[in-house]
Amino acid sequence: MAGIDEIHAQAVRWIKEAGQRITQSFETILDIETKSSMNDLVTNMDKDVEHFFIERIAERFPDHIVLGEEGAGHDLEELKGVVWIIDPIDGTMNFVHQQRNFAISIGIVENGVGKIGLIYDVVHDELYHCIRGEGAFQNEKRIEPMKEAKLEESIVGLNAIWLTENKKIDKDVTAQLVREVRGTRSYGSAALELIYVATGRLNAYISMRLAPWDFAGGTIIIEELGGKVTDLKGNPIHYLKKSSLIATSPKLHEAIMERYLS
Ligand code: 2AM
Ligand code: CA
């Protein structure tokens, strides 16, 4: 089987190439469809980029498996061997409406353990990446381990939808959190919000509903930097299951869990 460094090096090359394809598509007219709802968008570029990875991976690493958001990869029931969990465009609504605030997200998992994380902020040409145990990097620059923040001094990534009546969380609880922290932000791309937590631009990110391709790459990078990612019950997240998610530093994780989620 290919070594971890070789897999990482290939993933870096491919994610940059995929980024170029996306940038070039800004000059073309997108083909936009909706999926589960009017606001759940998919474009020809989401599909094109997913296919790009599937073809490259099948050719170079034929024993690897791909789980992609647009469903062109494998149908998986368990995480055996090397699995690439890919979101070709995370933040598709931003991609369509803003041509910014989106990312390509890849988590590479071996027998259920996150080994390589990559998030590419295409518009800023910023690649965040790590190999488990070897530190995390923004392009070539090493990212410092995550720092703790007090609850009242933290900036939390949270979508305003969770302050409206919903089936996942009591909106009074989220409203209390919004009042008690220093500030909240919503960027519309889980991958970017996770990388903002990894780099200290946010102190925590909370979502009630994410899929493995939204969080795999970011979780691997955050864990490499000493952060903690769980579902909102405090259980470990699973790379094959949709779940709620809280990503932050260990002490702030404890504080948020204790004050709002227990
Ligand atoms: P996407 O753009 O790849 O679809 C938006 O708040 C963030 O949540 C984005 O990362 C978006 O990913 C993700 N997202 C939006 N709707 C979702 C859903 N129904 N299930 C899982 N993730 C979702
Ligand atoms: Ca997507």
Q: Is the pLDDT of residue 147 over 90?
A: yes
Q: Give the C-alpha separation, 9 to 207, whole Å.
A: 31
The pLDDT of residue 91 is above 70:
yes
Q: By percentage, how much of the chain surpasses pLDDT 90? A: 95
* Mean pLDDT, rounded, for 141-159: 98
CB atoms within 10 A of CB 59: 8
Ligand 1 neighbourhood includes 226 CB (under 6 angstroms): no
- Ligand 1 pocket, 214 CB below 6 A? yes
pLDDT digits (tens, 9 = 90+) for 206-261: 999 999 999 999 999 999 999 999 999 999 999 999 999 999 999 999 999 999 99
What confidence tier does 171 reach under pLDDT thresholds 50, 70, 90?
Answer: very high
User: Model-level pTM?
Assistant: 0.97
Q: Output the pLDDT for position 1.
A: 64
* pLDDT tens sequence across 8-48: 999 999 999 999 999 999 999 999 999 999 999 999 999 99
pLDDT above 70 covers a percentage of the chain that reads: 99
Distance 1 CA to ligand 1 centre (A): 33
Token pair for 167 = 């089936």
Q: Calculate the alpha carbon distances from 111 to 103, 119, 136, 147 in Å.
A: 26, 21, 21, 30
Confidence of residue 158 (pLDDT cuts 50, 70, 90): very high
Question: Which strand (E) or helix (H) includes residue 4?
Answer: helix 4-25
Instruction: State the pLDDT at residue 71.
Output: 86
Confidence label for 5 from pLDDT (cuts 50, 70 and 90): very high
Distance 5 CA to ligand 1 centre (A): 30
- In this prediction, residue 70 carries a pLDDT of 87
Confidence category of residue 113, pLDDT binned at 50, 70, 90: very high
Instruction: Kindly report the average pLDDT of the chain as a whole number.
Output: 96
Local structure of 167: helix, strand or coil: coil
Q: Which of 85, 214, 244 to mutate to test the pocket of ligand 1 (most atoms within 8 A of CB)?
A: 214
Hey, whose CA ends up nearest to atom 9 of ligand 1?
189
Q: What is the pLDDT of residues 49-79, one digit of tens each?
A: 999 999 999 999 999 999 999 887 677 889 9
232 Cβ contact list (under 8 Å, min separation 6) = 169, 206, 208, 244, 245, 246, 261
